[in-house]
Structure formats: C-alpha cells, structure tokens
Structure 1
Amino acid sequence: MFSKKKSKANLSVHVASVCLLAASIHAAVAQQQLAVSAAEGGNLWFVELTDKPVADGNSRKNVTAAQQQFRLAARDAGVTFTERRQFSTLFNGFSIEVSPAQRAKLMQLPGVKAIYPVELIQAPTADVSMAGSAADMASAIGMTGADIAQNVLGYTGSGIKVAVMDTGIDIDHPDFGGNGSNGSTSFPTARIAYGYDFVGDAFNADPSSPSYNPIATPDNNPDDCGGHGTHVAGIVGANGTVKGVAPDVTFGAYRVFGCNGSTTADIMIAAMEQAYNDGMHILNMSIGSAFQWPQYPTAQAADRLVDKGMVVVASIGNSGANGLYSAGAPGLGEHVIGVASFDNVASTSAVVEVNGQDIAYNTMTFSGPVPTAGSGDVVFIGQACNTDPLLVSPAGKIALAVRGVCPFGEKAANAINAGASAVVIHNNAPGIFSGTLGGQIGDGSVPVISISQADGLFIRAQATPVLSWTDRTMQVALPTGGLISSFSSYGLSPDLALKPDIGAPGGVIYSTYPLESGGFATLGGTSMSSPHVAGAAALLLQAKPDTPAMAVRSVLQNSADPKNWWGNPNIGFLDNVHRQGAGMVDVAGSITANTYITPGKIATGEGESGSFTQTLTVHNKGTEVVTYQLSSINALSTGGIITPSFFASDASVSFSSDTLTVAPGSSAMVDATITPASQPVNGQYGGYIVFTPEDGGQVYRVPFAGFVGDYQGIQVLAPTGNGFPWLAKLEDGFFNNCTMACSYTMQGDDIPWFLIHFDHHARYMEMNILHAGSMQPVHPVFHKTNVFDYLPRNSTATGFFTFSWDGTRIHSNGGKGKTKVVPNGAYVLQLKVLKALGDESNPAHWETWTSPVITIAR
C-alpha cells in the first residue's frame, strides 16, 4: 500500500507500489488443455484495402473497382468468406465472416492493406437501483462550468446538431419534447430530428447469449428500449426534469444496439457514415473496443469524420482494472476526443433515520422492497460471513453488518436466515457505496441496504438504536468526488500517443431513461463522461462557430483542470496524464479563453531517444498584450502493465524563454524541451506545461506524456502460467497442447492450431512455414501464413488468441492470388512478432518462437 516518506522530495525515486486491484493476479497453473470458449476473438473480420476511401479524396468508381478486384483475387486463391458489409466513404473495405483457416490467407491477397477483428461490443448494463435526482446532474455540470456557460454566458447549444450513436433515444420522453408515456410521439421530432435504427429490437450479436440473434432488421425509428442511449442523450442535452450540458441542441439518434445484448464494430461504421450524410456537427460514441490501436477501423473512420468537419467524442473505456494500454477505439483515434471519467462530487440517496439522525443509503441490487414508513430496533451482528458466528441474534430486528471478507449476499443471507426483518451493511472505508447480492435471497421480501462507514459506526455507538424508514432523499458528498473513476481506462495509445485526451464527470450520473423503465436512472462509466464533453463542444461551437472541428480538442484541453491522484489526493500529486489527459473539462473557461495553444498535447515517445523538443504556438485572441510565465509540473508515473504501481516523476522541462509576450491578435512561439523521467523501467510518465499570465487571469496548460526507456523492452509473447505459445489439437471443444509434435489429417478442425498470449500490442505478426529437417522455408519467397498488422494485447494476464493453418500457402507475385497445397510431411511454423513501434530492420525488436514438429498426414 502507499508508503509516505518524510518529505515530497524523497518521493522522487518511488512514491508507491499501489495495486490497482484489491487482489494480486497470480500466475495460472500450467495446463495442457484449454477450452475453445476461453479464447479471445471470433470469426468476424474487417478487410482494409490499400486504396484510399472516398473521404480521403478517392472516387467512388475507383473504390468500387478495387473492391471488386479483391473479390476476384479471393476467389482465385480459394479464400471463401461471407461478406457482411461494404464500406466506401470513411473506410475502404469490408466486414466479413471467415473461418480461422481461411483468415490466415487474407493478408497475402493483392490489394489488402490490413485485417482487423470485428469486435463484439457489449451493450452497457444499467444499475438503476440507486436513488437520484436532478440535483445529481446539476452537481456534475457544476464540476465542468457548464452551469456558468448556460446561466451566465447564455449558451445552450442552440443550432448545433449532436449525433448519439447508442441504443437510441426515447422519443416519447418529455425531457426531449416527447408526449409522455402514451407512446404517441412520431419520429422525427423537433429535438430528435435525425436518426436511424440499424439493428431492430431483437438484435443481439453475442453468440454466447441465450437471446443471440445476429439478423438485423433496421427501420427509420431509433426509439430506445435499452436505456443507455437515452441516458447519454440526457447528459448531452435533456431539457426538463434533467437539464443537460447543452439543453437546446438538436439530436440525431443512431441506434446500433437491440433492446438487449451486443453489437459489432462494423455496424458502428455504418452509423458513422449515416451521421456524416446527415450533416451532424458532433458525434458522441459512448461505446468502443478496448486494447486496440488507433489504426482500428472505427478509429480510422472517426478520424476521417473530423477531417471532414465533424467533432467526434468517444469514451476511452471502462477497463481501468485491466491496467495500462487498455484504452479503446474509436477513442484512440488521432483526431478523436477520447474521454476519461471522474466521479461526481455528490449524489442523491434515500434516507433512513436512526435516533434522530438522517442516514443516507443505497438499495442493494436484488434487495426486497424497501419500506417508506415503520421502524425497528437495530443490532450489530459483526462480519456475518459463513466463517463468523453472528455476534447476536437478529431475529425480528434490523441486522447491521460490516462490509468485507465475504460477499454481500453471504452476509445478507446469514442475517435473513437468522430471522432479520431487514439488513444494513456499512462500509469499511469512507463513503457510501453500492452493491449487489448476486441474486434473490429467499422469497426476496427482506430489504437490504448499504450505508457509509461513519453512519455505521454512529449506529454501533448508540445504546438502543432504532431505525425509522422514510420516503425522503438527501444529497450526499462522495468521498471520491472530482477524482478519476476506478473504472476509467489507462492509456497511452500503443503508438505512445497521449490518450485519453480529457476527462469529465462519469461516475454516479443521474439522467434520463426510457419512460417504460422509470424515466430516470443513475449510471456510471466513461459512457457518461463522453456526453459531457460532447455537450461542452456544442456550447463551444455555439459561442465560437468559426472553431474548426480539428481545433476543438486543443481549445478544450488548454483550459482543462488536472486533478490529484486518486490513491491519496491530500499529498498533492497530480494523477497520471495517461489516465486523465488534460484533466477535467472546463466549459466556461474554454468559451471565455482568449489564448489558444497548439499543439494541445505532446507525446514525447520513448525516453531512450533522449530529450524531446516541441515548438508551441501561443495565439492571443484578446485585445491586450499578454506576457506568460512558463513553467511545468509533473504528474505521477506508473510502472507495470496489468497492475500499475505509482512513482513520482523526475522528468523536467526547459524553455527557449521563460516568458513569452504575445501581442493582441497575433501569435508567438516557444520551444519546450522535455527531459524524460528515468524510472520506472518500462513505465509511463507525464506532466503539464503551464502558461500563467503575469497580470493575472486564466491559466492554460498543455499535457505531455511518454515512455520511460526502451519501448521495445516490453515482452510481447509472455508465456503466462500456461507456457504459451502452444501448438495444439482441437478435440471435443478443447485445445490440447502438443508439447513435442502432433500429426494432423487436415480434415475439418483437425488442423494445426496456435494459442498465443500477447502481453502487449504487436505491430506485426507472421508465421513462416519451414521444413522440419532442414529448417529451410518451403519456398524462397512464398512461405508465409497468418500475416497480421496491429494486433491488440490480451485483455487479461492469462488470455490468449487462436490462429490456425490449413496446410496451404499463397503463391502470388502481386497479381491474382493463387493457393498452393503444402505436401504431406514434417514442418514447423516459425512465429515472428514485431514489437509496437519496432524497427523491422532491428533484430532486437522482433520476438520469435518455433513450433513443435507438425506432421501433415492427409
């Protein structure tokens, strides 16, 4: 845990080795068999062609011709697949369904630039059990200065069109101008004037789900039955019970989820193209694919939207528990605004009264109905785990237990089985919390609630505590308010670009919800922080309509406010730049700013390269001369990947001039030279360059971040406890490890399979087919299979991807694809992986593995 030295200066070597997760991740016990279902990935793939898409200046005729040439080349090579979707405008290529064996040939077909998995994107689940009110949203927009922008500066987003790609928007909701629960509102409406349903109610792309239904049934009405999109849209611009960031924007609703379940990344691109055709000014995407590259198709398509004049805002992801480089596409896009989440400063909770004192509570998921009247004696029963006897009998009374050691459901069940009329669980750390019982207990009639540690200790200090149920609510300050949310994903991007870009409130946000599900709900996630920034962009565009889409991110970053480290905010260290970006968005500050600094962020790359110099251009949009004092401040560094530890940074910044004077209406330049941090090895560091006006006024910042040391020092092919990579046989739904050699008939699934764990992103991968005896390639030139660009890392410390080989190779000089069958015999496959940002001419930047002997015996 955190160990504080006597002074901050002594922390420069090592602040702490704070675990991100409560429990350590232990290496798995080596296995010789793994279930097919344990593998990450699937059979849906994007194929990107080498020709540019229409948005990059190519003609539609040329794009169509290139796509037809690919189809013919695939036919000639015997590569069979099912074409799902074809893209021309924002991406030149296809989404296809293809078997692993056929997939291995795709990258070697003429005209193919890259292939990428079509990621399955789970619909965000909603916990609507928490109490809440419009005050929660008001506190959130107060954190960003959006309330000042609305009430003092007079901006509401009027005239700005915001696209919401999500589960749709409830068109009947009064907060969007709908007619209410009678369902009589017709689409389009004055506020939801654009949109399309790409999937239909029953669509669910997740093959593991009981409701799996991959057949889309699109229609023209993007009404919401899932809930998430209505909540997101409310944050952007509800105007009723809830008032969003920009309450007068016009919406476009682009529905990519059914009522339940998942969608796929290719549907996202289809929705992006529709939003582009509809002329939307801003696109919010509170969805994405974690652990990806900025080259991923959704990120590429999003970048092209920005190039064409649309501001694109996307959640950076909720994979904070999975460590560094977990940020998602499209938020990783070069020109996309990738948004991190901070916790709201306050929330509304229901109230019980104990001996005259109001106590806020949250209702546990799967709790029985909570009364709004009546009372009962409270008894403290202790930990209430199976291994702990209850301190007293709670029969006929309200049982109070303390959080920790065992699940909430176990505590509640023990109390209920002992006759408790209700169960209260108090926190074992500061603040109130939410939780789930994991399922209904008994007949589901007993209420189970959670309260803060302080309130729990207060009750325990009473001689005869009596709890009275009420129908009241109260505002409760959140102990993590204004700090980064525990779920918010870490950057950097795998190409060491600075991601996320900026942050906004996303933890504990009360907003609109479909009327059929209560009309309002409290949700949390970077899904909720992204629409705050989309709304901020709408206010900025209304206030400064000449701001180019490409410049909006920098304007917002310049005025953002970095926040302290979540682990111990009181000691004054700034949280990681690669977790909070520029910091909390300051909407009012961005609108009133007279200074604009480009670039808005700095990626310093590998520390191994030495100092990094960036020229910064400061634009003075005001009417007076301004002299800026230049300085810098470091944020905390991190070591590790899956489980980060935290360190003080010794990075430093020097300037070509310590002050910079800029005349009104003009610009001036200054060089900032960043000397990278020296530790931790293979870590990430960052900080902020600060521009302070000498005569007072708004302070501006430019975040910077980079990698400590040699980026190629990160091992990609980590063996994990299972000893990956494997050569495997697939039998009865399991992969069996071939530790020495295996023979294959090449019939059906009886082909060589390869199980590989990627501990970090890889720039490139190939497998070379060699004769087992001579270890020479089967052909001097055409001896490759499983060629891939831009591979993501696995999501867990023990996860793996699967690849296969069907015993063929592509024999082609760039013309028509031609498949050659490798004769029966003994072979090995040599796996070669180029590390992220690796130099392909440097052997040290490659990792290799040679398989056991593969005997082909058709």
Structure 2
Amino acid sequence: MFSKKNKSAISVHVASVCLLALSIQSALAQQVPANNAEGGNLWFVELATKPVADGNSKNNVKQAQAQFRKAARDADVSFTERRSFDTLFNGFSVEISPAQRAKLMQVPGVKAIYPVELIQAPAPDVRSAGSAADMATAIGMTGADIAQNSLGYTGTGIKVAVMDTGIDIDHPDFGGNGSNGSTAFPTPRVAYGYDFVGDAFNADSTSPSYNPIATPDNNPDDCGGHGTHVAGIVGANGTVKGVAPDVTFGAYRVFGCNGSTTADIMIAAMEQAYADGMHILNMSIGSAFQWPQYPTAQAADRLVEKGMVVVASIGNSGASGLYSAGAPGLGEHVIGVASFDNVASTSAVLEVNGQDIAYNTMTFSGQVPTAGSGDVVFVGQACNTDPLLVSPAGKIALAVRGVCSFGEKATNAINAGATAVVIHNNAPGNFSGTLGAQIGDGSVPVVSISQADGLFIQAQAAPVLSWTDRSMQVALPTGGLISSFSSYGLSPDLALKPDIGAPGGVIYSTYPLESGGFATLGGTSMSSPHVAGAAALLLQAKPNTPAMAVRSVLQNSADPKNWFGSPGLGFLDNVHRQGAGMVDVDDSITASTYITPGKIATGEGEAGPFMQTLTVHNNGTEAVTYQLSAVNALSTGGIITPSFFLGDASVSFSSDTLTVAAGGSASVDATITPATLPVNGQYGGYIVFTPEDAGQVYRVPFAGFVGDYQAIQVLAPTASGFPWLAQLEDGFYNNCTMDCSYSMQGDDVPWFLIHFDHHARYMEMNILHAGSMQPVHPVFHKTNVFDYLPRNSSATGFFTFSWDGTRIHSNGGKGKTKVVPNGDYVLQLKVLKALGDENNPAHWETWTSPVINIAR
C-alpha cells in the first residue's frame, strides 16, 4: 500500500469524469463562451505611496491619490472609481474594460493592479437536525469547555469583529428581544458594526437578482444567516454556548440577503473594524488560489501589525487540489484556519422493525412526516442505466448511493410510485445531499441514512419503516479528521499555510429567527470562528500577548491529526492541509513555554538542508529540560488531484536536549533535510519538544517543496490547447490560428486566452514584427504587464487578456504608451514562475501568438 521507494500509496482517479471533461473540451477546441473566463472588469489599483498604517500621513496619501486621478485623465484612461482606501491599503477599486487595463498599469504612481475578486456568499450545508449538544462536542474538541468551566475564561472584555452577512441582533442568544425587528442597534452584545451593502445587494452579474448598487446603513442585522451562525460559534450565550460566550461583537455586514460581495468591500469593512478598535477580526470569507500579496491579505497583515488578531478561513476548495488556499487567510500574519469534522451530530430518527436509524433530509425533499409507516423495498442503484430491482409503488424505496445523482435516483423511484425514498451510503457513515431541484410537486420525502443502516434494512425479511418526531446524537466516522472540503496549501510563495485547524464540519449554531433560529452548517467558515473565539479566551487569560504572537502561542499547543484517508494507519495528515493541527486552547492558556518561530517554511528542496534557530521561552517557575525529536507527516504529489506518500524528510539538532531556566530562554538549531519524494511534491512534519518530567508537549510544524519549484509547468495547454489568440464574436471566443485581422474598434481587438496551471510571479507580452520577429522598439515593446497572477480554479479554466494596439513607452517610469501602426505583429507571452529568478532563462515560460493583422 505505502512504499518508501517512490511508489504512490494512494491516488484516486475518476476516469469517467476525466474522459467527460476531455470530450467536452475537445468539442470546444475552437470556441469557448466568453462568460467561461475567470475574472472580470473590477480591479484594485495599488499606489506606490505607503498607506497610513505603514506610517504615512493621511494628507500624503490623499495627495498621491489626487495625482493618480489627474495622471489617469491626462493619459485618457477610462474607468469608473468605486472605492478609495488610505489606511490599510493605498489605492482604489475601479471598473475598467479589459482593453484599458494595460494603459491603467502605466499611469504614474501605480505600483500594481489586482482583480477585485467576486466572493460568493458561502453556500450553507444545512442539516435536517441538530442540537446544542453538537456545539458542545465541537467545543470539547478544542478544550474551550475546559477553558470556560475549569479555568474561568469566557472572553469578557474582548471585542470580536465578524465580517460576514451581519448578526441577528434580535436573537436571544445574543441578548436580543426574540422578536424579529424589535431590538434596537447597538446592543450590549453587538455593540459595534455597519451594513456596507443593504439587503438587496448582489455583486454577481450572472445572478437573476444581480444588484451592484450598495445601500449602506447603520444596522448590520442579518438576513442571510451565515454571519449569525459564525457569530454563534464565536460567542453565543443562550441555547447555544459558543467558544467565548461573553465577548462583545462588532458586526460588519458585506453581503446582502442573497448573493455575492466583492473584495474591495471587505477592505472597507476592515478599515471600519480598525477604526472601532476591535481586538480580533474573523473573516469566514475569502478568494481562493490567490497570493499573500493580494490586497485583502495585505490589509489584514497591516491590521495585525497595528495590534488586531486576524483570523480567516483558508477556504473550501479541497477538491481543487494543492495551492488552493485563499486570501486573506494567506496573509503573512493572518491565522489561516483549516477545518476538521465534528465528532458527533444530532440527526432525526426513523424506526425500521423497532431499530432506531438516524437520517438526514435531502435538500429539495418533500416534508418528512413525524408519524406513519410503510413497507420498504430495495430498488438498487435506481439510476437511468440501472432499472429498479422491484416496483416501489405504494411503498418506501430504499436505494444505494453511487453511479448517478441523488436527484436521478429519487426521480426514478418517485415516478414509479414510491411514497418516500431512502438512500443509504456506499461508505461508512451518513451524508448530506441535494436533489438539485424539486421533484414533481415536491411532496415526497427523500432522506439519507448510513451504509450500516441500509444493509440492516436489506437484511430484514419484511422491513417496515416508521417515522418519528425524535432525534438522536450519533458519532461521525470522520470526526476529528480533516474535512473533505478544507483547502490545501502551501502558499504560492511556499509559506506554510494553513496555520491551524478547528471543528468546521457539521457545526450547530445560531441562525436568524425568521429562518428557524438554529442550523447545522459546515465549512472552513465554521472553523475560523472557533479559532477567533480561542484567541479571545487567550487574550482574556494573557492580556499582554501581542497580536503578532497569538498565532505562535496557539500553534505551539495544537494537536496534529491522522490522515483522513486511513486514520488507523497512524500517519499524520499533511502539514500543508492541517497546519499545526487542532487548536487546543486550554493548553495554550496554561502553557508556560512559548517557542518561536511557531512554524517553519523550508522552501525549495533543491536548495538543500534548511537550518532554523528555535528559541524556547520558559515563563514557569522551574527549569525545564526538553527532549527534541521530529515526526514526518504524509507528503503529496500532483496539484489538482493529490496523491499521498510517506514523508522521508529528516531533522537533526545542535543538541538533542535543551534546558531552559525558569523565566529564561534558550535556543537550539534544527537542520531539516528535505524530502526526496515525490518530485515536485510537498512534504512536512513536526519538531517535537517533550519535557523529561511530566508536562505539556509542544510542537513546531515545518513544510516545504520537494525539488525544484520552478519545474512546475505554468502554461499547461489543457485539452483546449491554450494559450489562444482569439476573436470575440456573439459572446464566444473563437480560436484564431491564421488570417487574424482586427479593426481595433470595440471588442474587435486581439484577445488572449491563457490557462495558468500554477501561480505566476509576473507576466508580460512583447510586441514583435511578424516578418523579422524583432521587437517593435529596441527597448519599449511591452504590453500586458502583471504581477502575482493566481492559478486557474480548475484544470480547464482560463483567464482573458486583450491588446489595445499600444506599447509601453517608458524607461522604468510610467505614463507613456504609443500606438503601434497598422501592420502584422506577433505577441510573445513571457511568464516568470513563482519564486523564479528573472535572470534565469529556465524560470521563464514563453509562447508566441499567430500573426496579428492590425487594420484600423
């Protein structure tokens, strides 16, 4: 199964899905819909002048911004200014057409431009049942129950900002009146906040409810639900008791009741939280596949530098493979949080022949009855390609998960006359699922049960199902393991991300009263507030802890968990997916030892052994001697579909023991010899400090890249053969390989469709004469110059860039562009790989376009 000799242990390949994707791409090989492109027309403009948080004066920032506006007008750059920022980020968000982007980058004073990411409101994984007991099990996983009940810390005096959909201020668990709309803001519990968008706001232009016009007001009441759930995890105090039930909240609402927001609104909310003096900011939102240099991460880092602890979900893009972590969680000083599944959950109960069986109601199911009974028949897979084994007419159909969608199974059973549909798992444990849409009149209930319960029903000679109004708590087979959705790191600059983990899968918490008052949701959105609450308990217990140190204190005492794929094997899960492990807040509070740095990024393996000096601070009253050791976690190969390997890194120490005097500190050098397998993979492990006498064990995680990081191909062609030179016609990009002529009017300009299989540090396009293949100018021949480009979110995704027929005509400065005359040209695309050396030709990838005829 596992091998220490370059043999993949586990690599799952879903051949049918891959073949389907390939066939679709082949069919589109010469044409793709324009709306398939990733990105849009909203961009951040970062100015070279420092923001106020970095020590600049507000007057200097305003003057620099005024100079930019004038220079942009003089250069005839056309855009619409959306927002300006001065404190945490110096610059703007603007709406600008793709044809104007190259000119925007050349306006004097511009340091960089970045896309303003569209951020979807996290889709809730709502379970059919749940109880406060589920929240209690989650708090018990992190030691927050011990911190509350034994140590006496509840977050009193700590102000926690929640940037989200708002908080239901009427909810009794936040001290509200319990009647919708009857509580006045601010309240003693929700004492700060602002609504930046209004109820109807939705930034997603593809949505039927698209409404980009924000209507802000002073009341951040929640109508979406997500923020109330997040806030409840941090500090509800009622039916649900959160991690830190006595914190004071700031609610910074950046979503409407439905739909999406944008990254520039996030920065506006960050600046308001800073102005309100919040101690901790939780952001259960973010932009996947980004760089730590992305503006929301930059702004978050500056908040930490100014004294605010910032906690952010690392993202729910685990299915998209490595390097999928999101900003702001990627920020250098931000605590990026992974998700583990809760150990138990409460489910509704049905009975079969007297045995209780827990079930979950499928999304779009008909209402499940609380009484009545019916005979059960097993119908098999119930897929279109697999006829029902027996007729379920007038009976309850039992189907097995797999092969086709839940909606297809339920439709086939319901059309055959089933009065209800039960789908049992094809792997241990139960699951939540969706039918995709209402089936028929929507009256037939459809529920899921575990594999074991499904096999039990099949074994009965005459199974009779009885519906009940009861519920029960059941152990989750994935409890304490990394959640399937939790994103992988590392950061594209090979920083160790995520930093730490917490319960995020199957979490019961508060929900708006008009939507039931409580709900069970899942996501890194739910794990991040566990860590924000833990930070509140820590700050109450140790009020002099600097914001920059909180992450390391929590990491030192965290508990790494076993690999989700087969926990019984005893292998630790990837450091680049769980970080330091499960947060253990009571141990962090009682810890007398503090180790810096709290994590180690070893970089590229081709550089050889990596040495890190670790300093151990002893705040106790007695000297402590630690035994030093190290343990490997599993390594991964690939990017989109990771495979797993035994780690073979090794760690040596300048001394195998370290004695630290009471009230003193001592240092030891750790030399990490990087893993050799798999090539182009990621590896990691933990340095372990074990006291010779009984006491707490501390750990420092490390992670790095196997081999030469620049060996990863960026411009992977995909099945469509990207990059393309394209023409935009009737909402489609057409691949142009010859006779490519452009009038340069409107959208009739050269378009370039590029797939980034990995993050790129820099991109430029050089304009060459088609005949001689020489640059159009000896020095000034560039267009489309960009820094810090993210990778595409899928193996077939692409970004679009256009050429407006001009070239940059400046020598280090900015502001000049010149029109290229009519004629024939080619554009040479050059991409510098992540962490690449611009002076090393091997670190660049290039592509040359077909001939472009400009005929204005």
**Amino acid across the alignment from 1:513:** Y
Distance of 2:199 and 2:812 partners within structure 1:
45
Distance of 2:537 and 2:442 partners within structure 1:
47
Structure 1 residue 375: Cα displacement:
1.4
**Amino acid across the alignment from 1:746:** M
**Does the aligned pair in 2 maintain the 1:21–1:321 contact within 8 Å?**
no
Q: Which residue of 2 aligns with 1:480?
A: 478
> Alpha carbon RMSD of aligned pairs, Å?
1.2
CA change 1:323–1:182 in 2 (3 A) is: closer
**Amino acid across the alignment from 2:700:** V
1:540 pairs with 2:566: no
**Does the aligned pair in 1 maintain the 2:127–2:521 contact within 8 Å?**
no
Q: Deviations over 1:399-430 (max 9, x none)?
A: 11111111112221222222222111111110
CA change 1:23–1:651 in 2 (3 A) is: farther
**Amino acid across the alignment from 1:332:** L
Q: Which residue of 2 aligns with 1:594?
A: 592
Q: Which residue of 2 aligns with 1:377?
A: 375
Distance of 2:738 and 2:638 partners within structure 1:
33
Q: Which residue of 1 aligns with 2:47?
A: 49
**Does the aligned pair in 1 maintain the 2:289–2:323 contact within 8 Å?**
yes
Q: Deviations over 1:770-793 (max 9, x none)?
A: 111222222222221100000000
Distance of 2:115 and 2:18 partners within structure 1:
27
Q: Which residue of 1 aligns with 2:832?
A: 834
Structure 1 residue 768: Cα displacement:
1.1
1:527 pairs with 2:520: no
Structure 1 residue 23: Cα displacement:
6.0
After alignment, is 261-270 or 350-359 more displaced? 350-359
Distance of 1:807 and 1:832 partners within structure 2:
18
After alignment, is 112-121 or 442-451 more displaced? 442-451
Structure 1 residue corresponding to 2:201, chosen from 200, 203, 208: 203
Q: Which residue of 2 aligns with 1:81?
A: 79
Q: Which residue of 1 aligns with 2:786?
A: 788
CA change 1:175–1:12 in 2 (3 A) is: farther
**Amino acid across the alignment from 2:195:** D
Q: Which residue of 1 aligns with 2:221?
A: 223
Q: Which residue of 1 aligns with 2:565?
A: 567
Distance of 2:654 and 2:693 partners within structure 1:
21
Q: Which residue of 1 aligns with 2:7?
A: 14
Structure 1 residue 813: Cα displacement:
4.3
**Does the aligned pair in 2 maintain the 1:20–1:645 contact within 8 Å?**
no
1:221-260 aligned at under 5 Å gives the runs 221-260=219-258
Distance of 2:751 and 2:817 partners within structure 1:
20
Distance of 1:64 and 1:709 partners within structure 2:
46
1:494 pairs with 2:500: no
Distance of 1:128 and 1:678 partners within structure 2:
43
Structure 1 residue 819: Cα displacement:
3.1
Distance of 2:354 and 2:5 partners within structure 1:
49
Distance of 1:715 and 1:484 partners within structure 2:
29
Distance of 1:838 and 1:706 partners within structure 2:
16
Q: Deviations over 1:470-491 (max 9, x none)?
A: 1100001000000000000000
Q: Which residue of 1 aligns with 2:153?
A: 155
Q: Which residue of 2 aligns with 1:283?
A: 281
Q: Which residue of 2 aligns with 1:366?
A: 364
CA change 1:49–1:23 in 2 (3 A) is: farther
**Does the aligned pair in 2 maintain the 1:554–1:601 contact within 8 Å?**
yes
Distance of 2:261 and 2:72 partners within structure 1:
27
Is the partner of 2:18 in helix, strand or coil? coil
After alignment, is 287-296 or 77-86 more displaced? 77-86
After alignment, is 121-130 or 510-519 more displaced? 121-130
Structure 1 residue 390: Cα displacement:
2.1
Distance of 2:821 and 2:635 partners within structure 1:
54
Distance of 1:850 and 1:381 partners within structure 2:
57
CA change 1:126–1:782 in 2 (3 A) is: same
1:133 pairs with 2:126: no
Distance of 1:412 and 1:182 partners within structure 2:
37
Q: Which residue of 1 aligns with 2:319?
A: 321
Distance of 1:756 and 1:182 partners within structure 2:
50
Structure 1 residue corresponding to 2:773, chosen from 761, 772, 775: 775
**Amino acid across the alignment from 2:137:** S
Distance of 1:319 and 1:291 partners within structure 2:
9
**Amino acid across the alignment from 1:18:** S
Distance of 1:822 and 1:585 partners within structure 2:
58
**Does the aligned pair in 2 maintain the 1:13–1:648 contact within 8 Å?**
no
Structure 1 residue 642: Cα displacement:
0.5
**Does the aligned pair in 1 maintain the 2:196–2:216 contact within 8 Å?**
yes
Structure 1 residue 129: Cα displacement:
4.2
**Does the aligned pair in 2 maintain the 1:236–1:245 contact within 8 Å?**
yes
Q: Deviations over 1:551-601 (max 9, x none)?
A: 000000000000000111110110000000000000111001111000000
Runs of 5+ consecutive residues of structure 1 not aligned to the other structure: none
**Does the aligned pair in 1 maintain the 2:106–2:816 contact within 8 Å?**
no
Structure 1 residue 12: Cα displacement:
5.5
After alignment, is 514-523 or 177-186 more displaced? 177-186
**Amino acid across the alignment from 1:635:** A
Aligned residue pairs, count: 851
Is the partner of 1:321 in helix, strand or coil? helix
Structure 1 residue 366: Cα displacement:
1.1
CA change 1:683–1:855 in 2 (3 A) is: same
Distance of 2:423 and 2:742 partners within structure 1:
58
Distance of 1:357 and 1:523 partners within structure 2:
28
1:93-108 aligned at under 5 Å gives the runs 93-108=91-106
Distance of 2:846 and 2:748 partners within structure 1:
25
CA change 1:694–1:413 in 2 (3 A) is: same
Distance of 2:496 and 2:814 partners within structure 1:
41
Is the partner of 1:373 in helix, strand or coil? coil
Q: Deviations over 1:266-311 (max 9, x none)?
A: 0000000000000000000000000000000000000000000000
Distance of 1:670 and 1:205 partners within structure 2:
51
Distance of 1:24 and 1:594 partners within structure 2:
52
1:337 pairs with 2:330: no
Q: Which residue of 2 aligns with 1:711?
A: 709
CA change 1:22–1:165 in 2 (3 A) is: farther
Q: Deviations over 1:167-202 (max 9, x none)?
A: 000000000000012421000000000000000000
**Amino acid across the alignment from 1:486:** S
Q: Which residue of 2 aligns with 1:752?
A: 750
Is the partner of 1:25 in helix, strand or coil? helix
Q: Which residue of 2 aligns with 1:620?
A: 618
**Does the aligned pair in 1 maintain the 2:180–2:513 contact within 8 Å?**
no
* TM-score (norm: length of structure 1): 0.98
Runs of 5+ consecutive residues of structure 2 not aligned to the other structure: none
After alignment, is 442-451 or 16-25 more displaced? 16-25
**Does the aligned pair in 2 maintain the 1:362–1:433 contact within 8 Å?**
yes
**Does the aligned pair in 1 maintain the 2:634–2:683 contact within 8 Å?**
yes
Q: Which residue of 1 aligns with 2:654?
A: 656
Is the partner of 1:332 in helix, strand or coil? coil
The runs of 4+ residues in structure 1 deviating greater than 4 Å are 20-24, 813-816
Is the partner of 2:56 in helix, strand or coil? coil
1:351 pairs with 2:349: yes
Distance of 1:391 and 1:610 partners within structure 2:
61
Q: Which residue of 1 aligns with 2:676?
A: 678
CA change 1:265–1:825 in 2 (3 A) is: same
Q: Which residue of 2 aligns with 1:91?
A: 89
Structure 1 residue 461: Cα displacement:
1.1
Q: Deviations over 1:219-272 (max 9, x none)?
A: 000000000000000000000000000000000000000001000000000000
Distance of 2:736 and 2:439 partners within structure 1:
46
Distance of 1:514 and 1:361 partners within structure 2:
24
CA change 1:275–1:20 in 2 (3 A) is: farther
Is the partner of 1:47 in helix, strand or coil? strand
Q: Which residue of 2 aligns with 1:606?
A: 604
Q: Which residue of 2 aligns with 1:720?
A: 718
Is the partner of 1:31 in helix, strand or coil? coil
**Does the aligned pair in 2 maintain the 1:597–1:619 contact within 8 Å?**
yes
Q: Which residue of 2 aligns with 1:115?
A: 113
Distance of 1:400 and 1:88 partners within structure 2:
60
Q: Which residue of 2 aligns with 1:637?
A: 635
**Does the aligned pair in 2 maintain the 1:43–1:98 contact within 8 Å?**
yes
After alignment, is 80-89 or 434-443 more displaced? 434-443
Distance of 2:624 and 2:13 partners within structure 1:
43
Q: Which residue of 1 aligns with 2:170?
A: 172
